[in-house]
């Protein structure tokens, strides 16, 4: 497997059959996530390297968060505006949480309070930095698990899982709330829902890398260059120096050409003429088809809709009706169920702090506004932020009445349908 980024991490697709293993004998203090414990690192890198995959995660996150959170309760409204002592809002914290949940299948929120529980602060924790302890009910946080040095690592932070709290160096109580997706045979960690289609995502990434290499190589074909009449090392050195002038700055832009030098059979008699043998793989069309198929598969494994993704993979143009129809389907089958899922978790936290539950809601707005034909014209103008006059005879008409009188010289406000 080729490395996907400059972090020199080669992704492993191997998952353990389950995360419920003989922990104390195999691992010192943490439960591994993936066979090399770096599965979240792999998922993050794939999200950075595969455009369509990342576009779907971003699009899905945006639709789930919508225009943000709202509440008619004053306490909850204040919490939405100031969930912590930074300039973040609860909308911002939730956006990070939703992104981690969709990308990694896990999300973590740090909760800070005092012994009196007179306030509550909420902070997002990068899910790729978190592992669960194998010896107690703690969440272990480390900036780089590939550099983890053991239980005495000075960069390791240990916080209890909610509803347990522990006093920190600041004198306040700290806890971590863990949100995870369900996956059979996985007890401690969740798993991202798109994981069964991981190979399609990697194929899309590799085809992008292949296209990049082709572009950097000037679309030169790999092959074997046979150069006869080279009889000593000095001739080889001269030719190598000449060939290097055409290999680019780093010497890796020559299209993987192999050069073979052949000596004369006898003085003045060459074995054959110079020639270039191209390594033909007959793969040009196959690679294009493979790339397109992998991107279409990515949309499917994400359980998402093509018209709601910045890249749809189709040349159908802008279809407003399809967008609004697919949004309504997504709203009822994916967006609202996930919103309810996150609200249930927040309600659990609110109950702990004796805050009113069931008072938090999402503000959903379709990507395209469809005018309700049963609205009055003045109502539609008001909703669009335009000047309106409820007493204007034309504006007192229904939208559907106005459409029916479009070709008339003067609309009749008393007309009926």
Beta strand spans in 257-329 (E)? 257-262, 275-278
Q: What is the pTM of this model?
A: 0.73
Question: Rounded to whole angstroms, how far apart are CA atoms 36 and 46?
Answer: 16
CA geometry: angle 144, 146, 151, nearest 5 deg: 80
User: What is the CA angle 51-56-57, rounded to 5?
Assistant: 100
Residues 6+ apart with CB under 8 A from 84: 93, 112, 121, 122, 123
SS3 226: strand
CB-facing half-sphere around the CA of 147: CA atoms within 13 A: 8
Per-residue pLDDT of the chain (417 residues; tens, 9 = 90+): 344 433 343 445 556 666 665 554 446 789 988 878 888 988 998 898 888 899 999 999 999 999 999 999 999 999 999 999 998 999 999 999 999 999 999 999 999 999 999 999 999 999 999 999 988 889 999 999 989 988 889 999 999 999 999 999 999 999 999 999 998 888 899 999 998 888 888 877 777 776 666 666 655 656 667 777 777 778 778 877 777 766 654 445 455 666 767 776 566 555 567 776 665 555 555 666 666 777 778 888 898 988 888 755 555 556 777 888 888 999 999 999 999 999 999 999 999 999 999 999 999 988 876 676 777 888 877 776 678 888 988 888 887 776 554 444 444 555 444
How many C-alpha atoms does 65 have within 13 Å on its Cβ side?
Answer: 22
Instruction: Tell me the residue ranges of DSSP E strands in 181-297.
Output: 223-228, 257-262, 275-278
Residues 10/14/15/21 CA torsion (nearest 10 deg): -100
* Structure tokens belonging to residue 234: 């000095």
- Would you put residue 76 in left (φ > 0), alpha (ψ -120 to 50) or beta? alpha
Please give the distance of CA 235 from its chain centroid, rounded to a whole number. 54
Helices of type H across 130-283: 198-216, 233-244
Find the length of the chain: 417
The DSSP bridge pattern shows strands 138-141 and 130-133 to be antiparallel
């Amino acid at each position: 497997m080729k490395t996907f980024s400059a972090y020199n991490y080669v992704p492993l697709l191997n998952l353990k059959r389950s995360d419920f293993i003989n922990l104390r004998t195999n691992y010192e203090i943490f439960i591994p996530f993936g066979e090399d414990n770096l599965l979240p690192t792999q998922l993050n890198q794939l999200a950075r390297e595969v455009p369509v995959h990342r576009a779907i995660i971003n699009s899905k996150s945006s639709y789930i968060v919508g225009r943000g959170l709202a509440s008619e309760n004053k306490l909850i409204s204040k919490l939405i505006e100031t969930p912590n002592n930074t300039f973040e809002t609860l909308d911002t914290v939730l956006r990070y949480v939703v992104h981690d949940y969709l990308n990694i299948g896990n999300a973590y929120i740090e909760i800070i309070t005092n012994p009196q529980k007179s306030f509550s602060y909420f902070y997002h924790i990068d899910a790729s930095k978190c592992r669960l302890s194998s010896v107690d009910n703690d969440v272990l946080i480390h900036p780089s698990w590939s550099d983890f040095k053991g239980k005495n690592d000075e960069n390791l932070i240990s916080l209890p899982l909610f509803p347990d709290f522990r006093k920190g160096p600041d004198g306040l109580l700290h806890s971590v709330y863990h949100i995870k997706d369900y996956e059979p045979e996985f007890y401690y960690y969740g798993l991202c829902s798109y994981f069964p289609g991981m190979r399609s995502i990697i194929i899309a990434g590799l085809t992008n890398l292949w296209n990049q290499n082709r572009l950097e190589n000037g679309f030169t074909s790999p092959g074997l260059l046979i150069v006869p009449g080279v009889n000593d090392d000095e001739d080889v050195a001269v030719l190598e120096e000449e060939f290097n002038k055409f290999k680019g700055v780093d010497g890796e832009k020559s299209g993987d050409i192999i050069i073979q030098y052949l000596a004369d059979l006898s003085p003045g008699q060459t074995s054959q003429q110079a020639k270039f043998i191209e390594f033909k793989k007959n793969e040009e069309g196959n690679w294009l088809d493979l790339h397109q198929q992998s991107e279409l598969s990515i949309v499917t494994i994400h359980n998402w809709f093509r018209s709601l993704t910045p890249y749809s993979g189709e040349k159908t143009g802008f279809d407003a009706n399809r967008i609004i129809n697919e949004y309504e389907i997504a709203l009822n089958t994916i967006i609202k169920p996930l919103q309810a899922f996150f609200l249930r978790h927040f309600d659990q936290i609110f109950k702990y702090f004796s805050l009113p539950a069931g008072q938090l809601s999402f503000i959903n707005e379709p990507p395209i506004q469809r005018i309700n034909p049963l609205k009055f014209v003045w109502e539609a103008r008001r909703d669009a932020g335009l000047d309106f006059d409820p007493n204007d005879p034309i504006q007192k008409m229904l939208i559907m009445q106005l459409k029916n009188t479009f070709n008339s010289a003067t609309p009749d406000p008393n007309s009926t349908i």
